[in-house]
Amino acid sequence: MAKWATTSVFARDVQFLCVCVESARVALSFHDLFGFGDRVVNGYIPSGEYMPRGFGQLGCSGFVISDASGNFVSRKTKAYLQVGEGAFRHVESILSELVPSAAKKLPASPTSTTVRQPKQKRQRNDQLMIKPPASVGVDSMDDEHQECTDSFNRAIKNPTNETLRHLHAILKEHFAHEEELIEQHSPKNGSFSKLTSHAMDHARILDMATAELDRSVRNGGGGDTCSIQQGGRE
């Protein structure tokens, strides 16, 4: 979003807004973490009574898009965890309809018949190591995020059946605990549910972990890299 707001063809004509559903502290953390600067309006929902009614979702499950008059054009764009980079192209296609002048400046989508994609150098496993997310203000969650990060890095460095099984187990246990906390402390507001959104993302991540473990088992228990990626929020 920060890239769209600063360097894309939409930077001049589109206002980008991030609304945190946790707290002002987490919103400020996101502001620094994602480099919003002054081009992205960054806010937060102060209490349950301000939570959206009728629809809504967390960022990795899609974007909400409105036109210049405030009319909603899309209540939920495609989710990154479902379609990968195609989620961003989906947003750009909608914005292109709203801002035709910007659409003319978009680079043409490459195709296998017109463009040859250059081969990318494969990164060494140690270059793929990840860092734990910023503190969420809950000690148990911060500890579990560190444990998940450590397990991810072990699997990236040495993607064996054992490290992948451990990662799957750690993620499953953490997701269950996080969903339990959300269920206990989050208000219920119609069809918008932080629990539902989190649970859907957790299920997708576990599906990816399961697929990677299955691939490792089929290949005899080892490989060059681990292709599991963390979701946008974890």
Q: For residue 103, what pLDDT is reported?
A: 66
- What percent of the residues of the chain are helix, what percent strand, and what percent coil, each to the nearest 5? 50, 5, 45
Contact 96, 82 (CB under 8 A): no
Least confident of 7-11, 19-23, 52-56: 52-56
Average pLDDT of the segment spanning 182-206 = 71
Contact 201, 233 (CB under 8 A): yes
231: confidence class by pLDDT, cuts 50, 70, 90:
very low
169: confidence class by pLDDT, cuts 50, 70, 90:
very high
Q: Answer positive or negative: Cα dihedral of 43, 79, 213, 122.
A: negative
141 vs 197, more confident: 141
Q: For residue 211, what pLDDT is reported?
A: 85
- Residues written for the chain: 234
226 vs 159, more confident: 159
Q: How far apart are CA 17 and CA 4, in angstroms?
A: 11
123: confidence class by pLDDT, cuts 50, 70, 90:
low
pTM, entire model: 0.56
Q: For residue 136, what pLDDT is reported?
A: 78
144 secondary structure, DSSP code: H
Q: For residue 59, what pLDDT is reported?
A: 60
pLDDT digits (tens, 9 = 90+) for 63-115: 889 998 989 898 888 887 778 788 889 999 999 899 888 766 666 554 433 34
